[in-house]
Structure 1
């Protein structure tokens, strides 16, 4: 393992965050707080509890996951797309560093940045509602697995995208709607039976459900089903990244 090369790429990506702290950290935190205030105040005044949990506290895990997914995706996709756009990716590919080390460096930086935002949101939420974390181990497990999985997905998108429009296509038109429809602001048990079954097709449901269970012991699907779905999502992403480097898809052209 070439730790020096991994460290160099990782630190370069993290340094970019310092230059764009408003966009990378402050903006997503403020957006999430705005969601919390609007949904918690407007809807929370009409819905006292969901599954025995106050509505304001109920939506906190969903908001954290929403931010974690979008930030992991966007940080990783832009991190690998920008060197492709400027042509500096060929310097990385010609350096004495393996594909695994390249992936670890870019994905690791994206995970670090998105987890930082998620933790800030978690701390900020404590100023609005009382939050209880009943199962901290599982909270950290789902937190890390989700960040890594969506960073890998963002890495794939950053390689696939040919322009900035494609770079924004998946996060804006696919991931964000799936997150909103995945139980971020409600329990799927509140839906009619047909829509409950249809919602279970959405993979984001399992991520949010498992993460919310770690807080309050309440979930729309079982913990192990959520964990298996998350691991499957992670394995598929890893397989695609392996295929990209093995074939040189959009990297060697």
Structure 2
């Protein structure tokens, strides 16, 4: 850590968090309102007909899925927007010419985005307790899993922000890919409820492994083994770090 420019990391990190602070009310109210609506629609309407899944009350069962859905989108949006704006305004050249390494840049931007994502995740977790009693079987594992998810998807969002050349492109992946995959990845149901061949097809959805692993931290069981979830996260982290390293080495869409 002594070789890192901690002052630069802190400056970028606090700058990004300050942008979040300026929209703090909206940033906090949206997950609270969204979570409440999910409980009204899914917990109330569907939960009244499907009271339990694998012995877990349905209202409690959907909590991990709601947290993951929010954290996926928040992580990608925050990280992608954070690095895209310097490109859009032209200040990216000041960053690239400053005595700040690629590692320090990624730590600052991804760290700030992950912090905001974790705040939203814990707000949803707290809001859920207003509607249902949620017991967490492995609280430390839950926090660790949330941190890994936030960092992984913020790295992915960072890649998206570098790749994107318009605000429309920033929204394509989160809205048209990640969100549908999350809804189809067992966020609000167990994949064991599906008939074949859909159950097998669903296993090719990588989001299944993330939601299942996070649900394991709550209830001690998931749709797939926790080892597969951890393996997928490790693979995602490795791939994202490799791509970001390549982007900085080649200047891909960082230097025009």
Q: TM-score range by the shorter chain?
A: over 0.9
Matches of 2:85 and 2:26, distance apart in 1? 16
Stretches of structure 2 lacking an aligned partner (at least 5 in a row): none
On the 8 A contact 1:142/1:207 being kept in 2, the answer is no
Aligned to 2:67: 64
Aligned to 1:243: 246
Q: How does 1:1-253 map to 2 (within 5 A)?
A: 1-253=4-256
Q: TM-score, normalised by structure 2?
A: 0.97
Deviation of the 1:147 alpha carbon:
0.5
Using the TM superposition, name which of 195-204 and 14-23 deviates more: 14-23
CA RMSD of aligned residues (A): 0.9
Q: CA deviation digits over 1:62-114, x for unaligned, max 9?
A: 00011011100000000000110000111111110100000000000000000
Stretches of structure 1 lacking an aligned partner (at least 5 in a row): none
Q: TM-score, normalised by structure 1?
A: 0.98
Q: CA deviation digits over 1:202-245, x for unaligned, max 9?
A: 11100100000110112000011111111111111111111111
Runs of 4+ in structure 1 displaced over 6 angstroms?
none
Matches of 1:23 and 1:92, distance apart in 2? 29
Number of aligned residues? 253
Q: CA deviation digits over 1:96-133, x for unaligned, max 9?
A: 01000000000000000000000011011111101111
Matches of 1:102 and 1:29, distance apart in 2? 31
Matches of 2:125 and 2:134, distance apart in 1? 9
